[in-house]
Structure 1
């Protein structure tokens, strides 16, 4: 009998990127819709990517499987 392999969570793979130093980058929340009421400064600061909080790193790396190293 063969051992079952962990599958990569494809949604996580599409949404997160791991840097060369091991940090996890993600898109800032609150950018997709209903931005009329948001100030221009807030929209500008939401551009680009953010570094994921360290408390969430383990769960994201587990979901990424072989793509986490």
Structure 2
């Protein structure tokens, strides 16, 4: 069976935690920031976990993660 290719875009966006969960960054923090409150922008800094329903799709894109 041939090697599986890693989805390069996904590889740059997701990391695995020590316990095996998949970590992601939050969206909406790159531009048009003047209308967003400081509290909201601080919230974007914190990472988040991929939802359990999306984990299978992410793992399929990242077979060697």
Same fold, TM-score > 0.5, yes or no:
yes
> Which structure: larger Rg?
1
Shift >3 Å, 4+ stretches: none
Q: Write 1 or 2 for the structure with the bigger share of helix.
A: 1
Unaligned runs of 5+ in 1: none
Unpaired stretches in structure 2, ≥5 consecutive residues: none
Q: 14, 24, 33: which is aligned to 1:16?
A: 14
TM-score, normalising length: structure 1: 0.86
TM-score, scaled to structure 2: 0.91
CA distance in 1, matches of 2:15, 2:38: 27
Cα distance, 1:43 vs. partner? Answer: 0.5
